[in-house]
């Protein structure tokens, strides 16, 4: 297993470019299964989860060709409308093929994902949404088997709670259903709106994506399209926090500031200077001491759970007590213990982490437990005195493109040791 070695204490200074959004690219790739015509997707990040989704799409029977971040998918025929356990267990977002496969083929067999490091993460909302569109769904041998031999029909679906991939899965099922579907309590994440933009280019009729009510008029068929994936707001946020944590002066280029309002507000409250030097750029600078700030994770446009671990690392260097409350996932504090091994003072009380700062961080050997936890350890390593060795780097490779080269480009002393 590869390791990352970081010699900390160097401020991040300069310009860093952001990649395409992993969480937007995943549903976009699944959406390609809805048409027999070729779909070209630009700015697909080259990260491990995308590789897994491309394997899954190939398994289903589509042809995949890629050149850098430009990927062409052609699902002329779907031979195996199924997502096997081997692929779903490595990436839960594999369940995103359920909606498109039932919509296009009238049947799908998708392995149930198991538990996950950050919480139980069931897919009951995806399943009940499909049932409301008329699919018969059974669970057998660890698989969800869905059937709608005469096609899906539109319905009024009220989600019990907000789910990002649940909204995306149902949206993809609804575009080929007969009649109108209304999705209430839909996720408002920019990734949902990006998926709707792609589907609309393919010929779907969708209104309200990006708000909590989405209306879809089903169409008989979708065609080919070309689409460019939005920038990764979580990668952007991770770099901004890294710039602040190392006391640097960092400009992130190629981002959408509008997608990061909650983080920007919290950074400013913490005493970080945040400016927008261009419509697609954000710059962070720290001139004084960092101040304590409380955060509570929420669905978009609230503070993203995917930036909670990184913000906690920042708060270890702020003066005072910060309360970090996680409301989306029940077990997303695995980084706290590792940050404590580097010198942080963090107490966990249920869904709340209480961080007392500032405490100097010192390099240590730490283990990455999930994608965003690893990102927080990388940031802590960049700010710490001495060497930090991060084990199980495959977690970070799931979602950050070329992270060590990007960070090295703005001054970080970071290298990968291959095993």
Residues at the contact surface with ligand EPU, assessed by CB under 6 A: 23, 26, 93, 119-126, 161, 163-166, 305-306, 328-329, 371-372, 399
* Spatial separation of the C-alpha atoms in residues 162 and 151, rounded to whole Å: 26
Q: Which residues contact 277 (CB under 8 A, 6 or more apart)?
A: 251, 283
Q: Output 120 or 348, the one with its CB closest to ligand EPU.
A: 120
CB 8 within 8 A of CB 385: yes
Q: For residue 58, give both structure tokens.
A: 């190939």
Of 32, 105, 116, 255, catalytic: 116
* Shortest Å distance, C-beta 261 to ligand EPU: 16
CB 325 within 8 A of CB 295: yes
Cβ of residue 96: shortest distance to ligand EPU, in angstroms? 7
At its nearest, how many Å lie between ligand EPU and the CB of residue 121? 4
Please report how close the Cβ of residue 287 comes to ligand EPU at its closest, in angstroms.
31
Query: Could you say which DSSP state residue 20 is in?
Result: B
Nearest distance, CB of residue 271 and ligand EPU, angstroms: 27
Task: Supply the DSSP string of 347-377, one letter for each residue.
Answer: EEETTEEEEEE----B--EEE--SHHHHHHH
* DSSP-assigned letters across all residues of 97-165: GHHHHHHHHSEEEEEPP--BTTB----HHHHHHHHHTT-EEEEETTEEEEE-TT--B--EEE-SS--HH
Measured from the CB atom, the residue of 272 and 379 that comes closer to ligand EPU is 379
Toward ligand EPU, which CB reaches closer, 164 or 272?
Answer: 164
Q: Is the dihedral of CA 304, 384, 334, 123 positive or negative?
A: positive
Q: Is 32 labeled as catalytic in the residue annotation?
A: no
Strand order in the sheet with 320-325: 295-296, 320-325, 352-357, 345-349
Q: What's the farthest any 2 CA atoms get from each other in the chain? A: 65
Q: In this complex, which beta carbon is closest to ligand EPU, that of residue 112 or of residue 319?
A: 112
Return the number of the residue (255 or 290) whose C-beta is nearest ligand EPU: 255
Smaller CB distance to ligand EPU: residue 168 or 247? Answer: 168
Annotate 370-398 with b (16+ C-beta within 10 A) or e (fewer).
Answer: bbbbbbbbbbbbbbbeeebebbbbebbbb
CB of 26 to ligand EPU, least distance (A): 5
Integer CA distances (angstroms), 226 to 66, 234, 337, in order = 14, 24, 44
Residues designated catalytic: 116
């Amino acid at each position: 297993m590869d390791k990352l070695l970081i010699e900390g204490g160097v401020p991040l200074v300069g310009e860093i470019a952001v990649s395409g959004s992993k969480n937007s690219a995943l549903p976009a790739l699944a959406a390609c299964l809805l048409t027999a015509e070729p779909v070209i997707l630009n700015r697909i990040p080259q990260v491990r989860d995308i590789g897994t989704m491309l394997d899954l799409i190939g398994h289903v029977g589509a042809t995949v060709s890629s050149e850098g971040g430009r990927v062409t998918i052609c699902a002329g025929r779907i031979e195996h409308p199924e997502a096997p356990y081997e692929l779903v267990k490595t990436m839960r977002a594999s369940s995103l093929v359920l909606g498109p496969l039932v919509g296009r083929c009238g049947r799908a067999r998708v392995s149930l994902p198991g538990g996950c490091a950050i919480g139980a993460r069931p897919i009951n909302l995806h399943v009940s949404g499909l049932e409301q569109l008329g699919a018969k769904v059974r669970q057998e041998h660890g698989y969800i088997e869905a059937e709608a031999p005469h096609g899906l029909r539109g319905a009024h679906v009220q989600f019990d709670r907000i789910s990002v991939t649940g909204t995306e899965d149902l949206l993809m099922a609804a575009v080929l259903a007969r009649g109108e579907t209304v999705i209430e309590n839909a996720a408002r994440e920019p990734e949902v709106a990006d998926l709707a933009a792609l589907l609309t280019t393919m010929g779907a009729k969708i209104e309200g994506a990006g708000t909590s009510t989405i209306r879809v008029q089903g169409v008989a068929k979708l065609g080919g399209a070309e689409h460019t994936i939005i920038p990764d707001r979580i990668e952007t946020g991770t770099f901004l926090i890294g710039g602040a944590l190392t006391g640097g002066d960092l400009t992130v280029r190629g981002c959408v500031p509008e997608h990061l309002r909650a983080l920007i507000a919290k950074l400013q409250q913490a005493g970080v200077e945040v400016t927008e030097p261009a419509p697609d750029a954000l710059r962070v600078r720290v001139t004084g001491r960092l101040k304590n700030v409380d955060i509570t994770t929420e669905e978009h446009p609230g503070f993203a759970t995917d930036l909670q671990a990184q913000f906690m690392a920042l708060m270890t260097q702020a003066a005072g007590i910060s309360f970090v409350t996680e409301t989306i996932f029940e077990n997303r504090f695995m980084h706290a213990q590792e940050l404590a091994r580097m010198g942080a003072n963090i107490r966990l009380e249920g869904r709340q982490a209480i961080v007392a700062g500032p405490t100097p961080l010192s390099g240590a050997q730490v283990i990455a437990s999930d994608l965003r936890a690893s990102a927080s350890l990388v940031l802590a390593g960049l700010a710490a005195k001495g060497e930090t060795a991060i084990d199980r780097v495959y977690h970070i490779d799931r979602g950050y493109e070329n992270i060590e080269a990007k960070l090295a480009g703005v001054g970080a002393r970071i290298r990968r040791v291959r095993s």
